[in-house]
Structure 1
Amino acid sequence: MRKLIVLAVFFTSVIVSNTYGQEGFAVKAGLNNVSMKVDTGNNLFGSVSDSELGFYLGGSYNFVASEEFDIEPSVLFSFVDDLTSLYIPVMAKYKINNFNIQAGPQINYLLEDMPDGEFGLDIAFGGGYQIDDNWFVEARYGLQVSRGGDFGDVVDINTLTFGAGYRFN
């Protein structure tokens, strides 16, 4: 009887892990476009904006919450000409077949010398596609909600990312 229970638990866990099958560490990399808008305080010009193309790389771990939902925290390094940053998004992912819709908070930390405004908080949203058990692609937009210090009152930094990744199951 014990062997039968052990076999039943084993086969159930295999079936569940194959059904969900996407939990594990992943590496990811891609392109990002960082846009910065600075309020000049000048009534004539109002604000100045610029955007730069760069790339990012990092890692994540995908936690399976249910058959429909995953939670994926990541640590991503963004390399843009004058604005190197560290991003820590925690995405809730709603799965529809091989597609997913993502949304969640994203902490960003500017690694450049920025007076009194290194930390920021974004709300990020996007989508992804699971190509097979290991490979996936995703796109995400991070919209700044707040930035620390006096620097945060005059600067908005938003990020658009397109990338691919490989999950080690």
Structure 2
Amino acid sequence: MKKQFVLSVFFVFVLTISTYGQEGFAAKAGFNNVSVSVDTGDDFFGDASDSELGFYLGGGYNFELSEDFDIEPSLLFSFVDDLTSLYIPVMFKYKVADKFNIQGGPQINYLLEDLPDGEFGLDLAIGGGYQIDSNWFVEARYGFQVSRGGDFGDFVDINTLTVGAGYRFN
């Protein structure tokens, strides 16, 4: 079932991208730090939290909306020891200078692990990027969990820091 979901998302992503004039496909990879915080419900012991370092890879398309604004949907696979996930960020980019941009937007995440509930999550991601040359760029962003489906989301927060580089095929 999870493989069908991933293939369906990828198919819709490619189909959507191909119907618009693309500004450039980008391959991306980098490091991520996934932080999980669990509300134990115990005032005496407090909350439990942990973070793990992993990596991500994937791709996206950049669309130029105007001289100052771009939008870039991406499909990223995150690999951390106990929490493999699929991220679908849709970043709105504002060019604050010739090579610098700030980014923000929604980010859907889907846990690919066997969990009984709460596979889907919605984050708000913010960050920035630097265009090194016409092809290479670096970017970093932090995704704050806004909601997670099911009972799992009532007591678990999953936030993600990503730092990576990419190559844009123009």
Task: State TM-score, norm by structure 1.
Answer: 0.86
- Whichever residue aligns with residue 41 of structure 1, its letter is G
Per-residue deviation, 1:46: 2.1
Deviations 1:84-118 (A, max 9, x none): 00000000000121000000000000000112100
Kindly indicate whether residue 83 of structure 2 is the aligned counterpart of residue 76 of structure 1.
Answer: no
Structure 2, unaligned runs of 5 or more: 1-21
Could you tell me how far apart the structure 1 residues matched to 2:138 and 2:35 are?
A: 22
Per-residue deviation, 1:27: 0.2
Kindly indicate whether residue 60 of structure 2 is the aligned counterpart of residue 67 of structure 1.
Answer: no
Over the matched positions of the two proteins, sequence identity in percent amounts to 82
Per-residue deviation, 1:158: 0.2
* Greater radius of gyration (CA): 1
Per-residue deviation, 1:43: 2.2
What aligned pairs does 1:74-153 form with structure 2 within 5 A after superposition? 74-95=74-95, 96-153=97-154
- Whichever residue aligns with residue 103 of structure 2, its letter is Q
The 3-state SS of whatever aligns with 1:151 is helix
Could you tell me how far apart the structure 2 residues matched to 1:72 and 1:83 are?
A: 25
Task: State TM-score, norm by structure 2.
Answer: 0.86
Paired residues in the alignment total 148
Could you tell me how far apart the structure 1 residues matched to 2:100 and 2:107 are?
A: 21
The 3-state SS of whatever aligns with 1:44 is coil
- Whichever residue aligns with residue 124 of structure 1, its letter is A
Question: RMSD across aligned C-alpha pairs, in angstroms?
Answer: 0.9
Q: Which runs of 4+ in 1 moved over 4 A?
A: none
